[in-house]
Amino acid sequence: MQLDTHSDPLVERVRNLDLWFGTVDPEPLLGGITNKNFLVLDRGRRYVVRTGGDILVHGVVRASELAATRAAHAAGIGPEVVYAEPGLMVIAFIDGRTFTPEDVRNPANLSRLVDLIQRCHRDVALHLRGPAPMFWPFHVVRDYAHTLRAGESRYAGTLADLLTRASDLEGAVGKIDVVFGHNDLLAANILDDGQKLWLLDWEYAGFNSPLFDLGGLASNSEMPADLADGLVSAYFGRPVDAELKRQAAAMTAASLLRETLWAMVSEIHSKVDFDYAAYTAENLARFETSYSHYKKLESP
């Protein structure tokens, strides 16, 4: 079925932006579960138009996303912001192949992924302007729990147990180094242009522990345990001892818990056509497996 984009006010808004040189026909980009995005061809150049306002139930503030996207471009790992206005951002299209979980699990890509994450953590903050956002996953989980209770979520009865386990994980993570993280390292947010890797979609960017991006990348793409350990070892430049292994396992479980509650909140608040209930079930099952793995690593 072909979409009737000419009757969509959002498409008309994109079509009528003053920055275009000629008449454009925005093409919806499918696959997103938060925003509506479009591909635009203008005078032989392609652009991606990201649309959407703040999503406060998810802690998404578009001004922070814009600042992080600009900083990522200045650091050489993100696309250029061509234009922005409230609720809309136009970025340069990067011609490349979107990574898949299989790409992330391919040991041949490990050094490239580590380099990308290190550049994110080391360089983006040097170019960041404006307020400094913080993304602490355990605060996010607790805030989601408040939102779920207020919204009378069908998961309200499970929250006490999940919050107890979140507190356990937070204690295990302990003291942290603070870096500027991407905080949404899905394979689909990594692009390979044949020469280098790029990071896309900076909605959740903010200062955090480096273990969250490492754990998120591993868990989102279901890395086997030995490769996940190799990722952490390569990032820190040293073997993974028992303490670091437990900290990394705790944060990996936390990344899955945060994704699970994100899906729960989306079930009651999102208007995007997506099966959030199935996404909740998938991530909850993966969290249970990850949490069990973490518990086996506890000190005697």
Domains and CATH numbers, the chain: 5-92 (3.30.200.20), 97-296 (3.90.1200.10)
Residues 6+ positions from 15 with CB-CB distance below 8 Å: 23, 24, 25, 26
Token pair 């009528």 in the structure block, residue:
16
Sheet of 81-85: strand order equals: 27-29, 36-42, 45-51, 88-92, 81-85
The per-residue pLDDT string of the chain (300 residues; one tens digit each, 9 = 90 and over) reads: 344 445 689 999 999 999 999 899 999 997 666 788 999 999 999 999 999 999 999 999 999 999 999 999 999 999 999 999 999 999 999 999 999 999 999 999 999 999 999 999 999 999 999 999 999 999 999 999 999 999 999 999 999 999 999 999 999 999 999 999 999 999 999 999 999 999 999 999 999 999 999 999 999 999 999 999 999 999 999 999 999 999 999 999 999 999 999 999 999 999 888 999 999 999 999 999 999 999 999 765
Residue 50, H or E segment: strand 45-51
**pTM of the predicted model as reported, rounded to 2 decimal places:** 0.94
Residues 6+ positions from 89 with CB-CB distance below 8 Å: 49, 50, 51, 62, 65, 66, 69, 81, 83
Nearest alpha-carbon partner for 253 in 300, 299, 217, 289: 289
User: What is the C-alpha to C-alpha distance for residues 219 and 255, in angstroms, rounded to an integer?
Assistant: 8
CA distances from 218 to 10, 106, 264 (A): 36, 12, 22
C-alpha dihedral sign at 104, 109, 110, 111 = negative
- Give the pLDDT score at 258: 98
Helix (H), strand (E), coil (C) string for 112-169: HHHHHHHHHHHHHHHHCCCCCCECCHHHHHHHHHHHHHHCCCCCHHHHHHHHHHHHHH
